Amino acid sequence: MIPATVVFLYLGVVLYIGIFAFRRTGGKEKAEDYFLAGRSLGPFVFLFSLFGTNMTAFAILGSSGHAFNNGIVTFGLMASSSGLVIPLTIFLIGTRMWALGKKYGFMTPVQMFRDRWECSHIGTMIFAVQAVLLVPYIIIGIMGGGTTLSAISGGRVPFWFGGAIVAMVVMSYVFFGGMRGTAWVNTFQTVLFLCFGVIALVVIGYGMGGFGSAAQAMQNSPLSYLLTRERISPYYFFSYTFIPLSAIAFPHIVIFCLTAKKMAQFKKTVIFYPVCILAIWLPCVFLGVMANRVADVPQIRAKQEARRTLATQGRNMEPEQRDQLRDQAAGDDVIMLLLQRYAPLWLAGLLGAGIMAAVMASDSQILALSTMFTEDVFAFYGGKRRFGETVQVLTGRIFIVLITLFAYTIALQAPESIFELAIQYGFSGFAAMSPLLIAALFWKGSTKWGALAVTVWVALTVAAVAIFQEVVPAPAPGPSTVIWSVGGSEALSRTPGGTAVFGFLPVVPMVLGSALLMWLVSLVTRKPAQSTLARYFGGGNQ
């Protein structure tokens, strides 16, 4: 319990930071101060809080777990494309949103959509779809917290209790501190993990006998395929270049872009963002792969045995048996198991706190949902005008409690791994929403009806993927289950990791379909008024 005790102490520190932010304002802040920190974040806090809010349990536990079962290719799938696409979208879209927010007082992306396209209820539909898509991300944070505390305590802290503690701490400091408390906590957590991540890599690598010897042993073993891309098709690999488009479409990222004090702060963020991605993803993926060389940790051996059983006998099993083996083979906790094996108890606790720092980044998503609800629903439909800003902030706080309780309930029943849950639903859905921002900010001809078409398309396709994967059981590792063929090509398949459309992940047709619908529907529907276009583009309808 020593490492777990250290992590509990860390949770107390971050809770104090959030409460300190609340005490600084006396709890009487206006809506813009509570939800956007008064648009006053400095360059250091802005960089690390923006990066930290995007590096959640998916980047730490999910990446190492995926690498444990799939190999070094995990880094190429996510980190390499993210290091290029995310900074580029922040530079092109984030700066534009910051300027418009500063000029017109926008606090959420839906407020900009409503003003840009002269729509009202369509904006409410966009909010509803974004809110539903953001919930899996919050669930991931709670799952990551429960997994971390359970693993680092050797199972003495059960998953449900660990998830409850993390949910309660995050809910509390977001409730009290708002955006200022969330940004301070994210900055503290990001610095903490960047420091401890390096220490963990060195300590565990030394315990394994050195990086070179571990990699050489892997190369000479039957697990050498984990050091190659041989099991990943080019179509599958290419699909992951679409995933980072989700970053700028995430409401919490857009809202964070609105908190910067000056536009010049974006320059350093764009420069250092890829460096931060490298510093986090490289050790996590490397340790996830090298965990396969650890032979004296029973939990890791059990995961490997479950994986081998799936590969050799999975085709002859019932779907429930396969799902049970998948749960056993999941590697979301391998980093914590490595810490237990190779780090002293006190150091394992400190490193566990560092990992917990990244896992708890669901705070920004919770605050973003609260901001969107109070601005896009409560204030838009007259609540702020009737009851005032104090009640608006109180409503946001109540919403924080409700959404956290809801996410925790779902997290206890979520069967997917952290990595697959994020890719299949959260990232894919928001990547398909990215044409909304691009069209609104850069295409004069876009219309509210095009935006409606995109929103409905995203909602239907995400629901279709979820229903399809619920109805058609995932096959064992190996060939996919072909559901529909066209001209000898696999048009729709159920894969061990999800769904494939002509060999691509669903995110590819989802994004392309969104862009096509926005273009076609906008061409044949009425454009906003000339005065509105002039405010955004300086005049002109085409």
Question: Which among 228-232, 275-279, 477-481, 534-538 has the top mean pLDDT?
Answer: 534-538
On whether residue 509 sits in a domain, the answer given is no
Within a domain: 459: no
| Higher pLDDT among residues 143 and 505, named by residue | 505
Burial class (CB in 10 A: 0-12, 13-18, 19+), 316: exposed
- C-alpha distances in angstroms, 190 versus 22, 155, 493? 21, 26, 39
> In this structure, how many other beta carbons lie within 10 angstroms of the beta carbon of residue 485?
11
Radius of gyration of the chain (CA): 23
* Range in 140-149, 288-297, 488-497 the model is least confident about: 140-149
Q: pLDDT tens digits, residue range 203-213?
A: 887 877 777 77
Two tokens, residue 388: 């005032």
Each residue's pLDDT tens digit, 275-297: 888 888 888 888 888 888 887 88
**Phi and psi angles of residue 140, each rounded to the nearest 5 degrees, phi first:** -60, -40
Total domains in the fold of the chain: 1
Q: Are 379 and 105 in contact (CB under 8 A)?
A: no
pLDDT, averaged across the chain: 83
Q: For residues 446 and 386, what is the distance between their CA atoms, to the nearest angstrom? A: 34
Quote the CA–CA distance of 211 and 219 in Å, as a whole number: 12
Q: What is the pLDDT of residue 542?
A: 43
In a domain, 32, yes or no: no
Which residues, 6 or more positions from 13, have their beta carbon under 8 angstroms from its beta carbon?
188
Residue 411 near residue 139 (C-beta atoms within 8 A): yes
Average pLDDT value for residue range 234-238: 87
Residue 492 lies in a domain: no
Rounded to an integer, what distance in angstroms lies between the CA atom of residue 169 and that of residue 426? 23
pLDDT at 142: 78
SS3 state of residue 489: strand
Cα angle, residue 495 at apex, residues 491 and 501 outer, rounded to 5°: 25
Q: Where in the sequence is the domain holding 60, given as residue range(s)? A: 2-25+42-418
Range in 119-128, 363-372, 420-429, 463-472 the model is least confident about: 420-429
Confidence at residue 210, expressed as pLDDT on a 0 to 100 scale: 75
Whole-model pTM? Answer: 0.84
Return the CATH number at 204.
1.20.1730.10
Q: Is residue 444 part of a domain?
A: no
The dihedral of CA 68, 73, 76, 77: what is its sign?
Answer: negative
Q: Tell me the CB-side half-sphere exposure of residue 419, using CA atoms within 13 A.
A: 26
Q: What is the pLDDT of residue 446?
A: 96
**Burial readout 202-219 (b: 16 or more C-beta within 10 A, e: otherwise):** ebbbeebeeeeebbebbe
What is the DSSP-derived secondary structure letter of residue 380? T
pLDDT computed for residue 57 by the predictor: 61
Identity of the amino acid at 536:
Y
Encode burial over 276-305: b for 16+ CB neighbours within 10 A, e otherwise: bbebbbebbbbbbbbbbbbeebebbeebbe
What average pLDDT does range 344-351 have in this prediction?
72
> What was the pLDDT predicted at 423?
58
DSSP string, 165-215: HHHHHHHHHHHHHHHHHHHHHHHHHHHHHHHHHHHHHHHHHHHTT-HHHHH
**pLDDT tens-place string over residues 37-76:** 888 888 888 888 888 777 666 677 778 888 888 888 888 8
Cβ atoms of 175 and 401 within 8 Å: the answer is: yes
331 closest CA partner among 68, 149, 533: 68
Band (pLDDT 50/70/90 cuts) for residue 98 is very high
Q: Which residues contact 307 (CB under 8 A, 6 or more apart)?
A: 69, 329, 477
pLDDT for residue 104: 92
Q: Answer whether residue 487 shows pLDDT above 90.
A: no
Q: Provide the pLDDT confidence category of residue 522 given band limits of 50, 70 and 90.
A: very high
Question: How crowded is residue 44: how many other Cβ atoms within 10 Å of its Cβ?
Answer: 12
Tell me: pLDDT of 486 over 70. yes
Residue 176 lies in a domain: yes
> Does residue 426 belong to any structural domain of this protein?
no
| Mean predicted confidence (pLDDT) in 143-168 | 79
Q: Which residue has the higher pLDDT, 137 or 237?
A: 237
pLDDT value at residue 511: 96
Q: Which residue has the higher pLDDT, 436 or 279?
A: 436
Cβ atoms of 522 and 110 within 8 Å: the answer is no
What's the confidence (pLDDT) of residue 357? Answer: 65
pLDDT tens string 185-204: 888 878 877 777 677 778 88
Cα torsion 173, 176, 182, 186: sign:
negative
Answer whether residue 438 is part of any domain. Answer: no
Burial class for 382, CB neighbours closer than 10 Å (0-12, 13-18, 19+): exposed
Q: What is the mean pLDDT of residues 243-263?
A: 89
Q: Note the pLDDT of residue 541.
A: 44
Tell me how crowded residue 42 is: count the other CB atoms within 10 A of its CB.
13
